[in-house]
């Protein structure tokens, strides 16, 4: 038993709910139904067991946690990011402080974003760290939807086999099996939603790292904003222009 558990990579007691449900179906249905559909009932039962194995092996709690993180993790607010960068740059300029020391001491949002800040950090290390974050996000995304797709496809295929078998036994021909593929539609909707969220998060990471890299290389905070122009979302251009004008006025001493 222990050897079997190791091969399945899941404790055998996790199969009990599926076995109980399968036994209940066998006892609850009339005898004539079992005689005509026994083969397809067991095909459906084994598919349910396989789905249970896939579900338990991936860990339902971890799967739901990963999915929730993909869909609900707070994203970096681009405008908030630019505003804080403007404020910090002006504080540093007026106080005559090192931008690096000011960043390390006061800019918590940048630290929360996972930016590796150090006075001697080469730009290639910054780019490597940025790419690592994006790759980790993509890997988490792929893992979650691979597992969801395995379960949904297993249920859909088992239901299709069941309906096709029933059609052959009863001598009818219809498209009842299509209803079992409804399982795939919520997965597709979640995939699209999470893909959009992932793209937004990656954009925020790119913005943050571009700003950090520019701040390391330039003494002028206006140069940071200029570096952000090519990758700034179109919907933020109006606010960006307002912030940029304010920054230029500050650096020229008009405010």
Residue 98 pLDDT exceeds 60:
no
Residue 9: band (very low, low, confident or very high) from pLDDT cuts 50, 70, 90 = very low
Q: What is the pLDDT of residue 99?
A: 46
Q: What is the mean pLDDT of residues 128-132?
A: 68
What whole-number distance in Å separates Cα of residue 167 and Cα of residue 184?
Answer: 22
Nearest to 63 by CA among 151, 182, 156: 151
> Residue 228's pLDDT band (boundaries 50, 70, 90)?
low
Token output for 59 = 């860990």
Task: List the end-to-end C-alpha distance of the chain, in Å, as a whole number.
Answer: 77
At residue 158, the pLDDT reads 67
Angle, in degrees to the nearest 10, between helices 99-106 and 184-217? 140
**Of 252, 254, 228, residue with least CA distance to 241:** 228
Residue 113 DSSP symbol: T
Cα–Cα distance for residue pair 144/146, rounded to 1 Å: 6
Pairwise CA distance, residues 146 & 255, whole Å: 54
Highest mean pLDDT among 61-75, 133-147, 159-173, 221-235: 133-147
Mean pLDDT of the chain: 57
Q: Determine contact, residues 54/77, Cβ cutoff 8 Å.
A: no
Asked if 73 and 201 touch (Cβ cutoff 8 Å), the reply is: yes
Amino acid 107: pLDDT: 44
Alpha helices in the chain (DSSP H): 2-8, 16-28, 31-58, 60-72, 78-95, 99-106, 108-112, 123-170, 184-217, 221-228, 237-251
Binned at pLDDT 50, 70 and 90, residue 106 comes out as very low
What local confidence, expressed as pLDDT, does residue 131 receive?
A: 72
**Residue 61's pLDDT is what?**
56
pLDDT at residue 122 greater than cutoff 50: no
Domain locations in the chain as residue ranges:
2-76+113-217
Rg (CA), the chain: 28
pLDDT at 100 over 50: no
Query: What average pLDDT does the segment 112-123 reach?
Result: 40
φ, ψ of residue 13 in degrees (nearest 5): -65, -20
The answer to whether the Cα torsion of 19, 24, 27, 30 is positive or negative is negative
Angle at 141 between CA 235 and CA 132, to 5 degrees: 80
Instruction: Give, in degrees to the nearest 5, the angle at Cα 160 between 156 and 161.
Output: 120
Residue 141 scores a pLDDT above 70: yes
Q: Supply the pTM of this predicted model.
A: 0.39
């Amino acid at each position: 038993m222990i050897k079997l558990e190791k091969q399945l990579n899941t404790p055998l007691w996790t199969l009990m709910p599926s076995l109980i449900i399968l036994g209940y179906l066998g006892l609850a249905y009339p005898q004539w139904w079992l005689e005509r559909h026994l083969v397809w009932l067991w095909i459906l039962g084994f598919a349910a067991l396989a789905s249970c194995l896939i579900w338990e092996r991936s860990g339902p709690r971890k799967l739901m946690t990963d999915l929730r993180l993909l869909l609900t993790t707070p994203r970096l607010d681009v405008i908030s990011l630019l505003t804080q960068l403007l404020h910090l740059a002006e504080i540093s300029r007026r106080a005559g402080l090192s931008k690096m020391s000011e960043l390390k001491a006061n800019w918590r949002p940048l630290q929360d974003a996972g930016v590796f800040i150090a006075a001697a950090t080469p730009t290639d290390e910054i780019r490597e760290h940025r790419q690592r974050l994006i790759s980790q996000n993509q890997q988490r995304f792929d893992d979650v939807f691979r597992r969801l797709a395995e379960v949904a496809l297993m249920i859909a295929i088992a239901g299709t086999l069941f309906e096709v078998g029933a059609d052959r036994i009863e001598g009818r021909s219809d498209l009842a099996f299509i209803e079992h593929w409804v399982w795939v539609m919520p997965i597709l909707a979640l995939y699209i939603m999470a893909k959009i969220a992932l793209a937004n998060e990656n954009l925020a990471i790119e913005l943050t790292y571009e700003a950090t890299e520019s701040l390391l290389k330039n003494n002028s905070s206006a140069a940071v904003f200029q570096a952000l122009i090519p990758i700034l979302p179109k919907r933020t251009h109006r606010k960006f222009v307002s912030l940029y004008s304010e920054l230029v006025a500050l650096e020229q001493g008009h405010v």
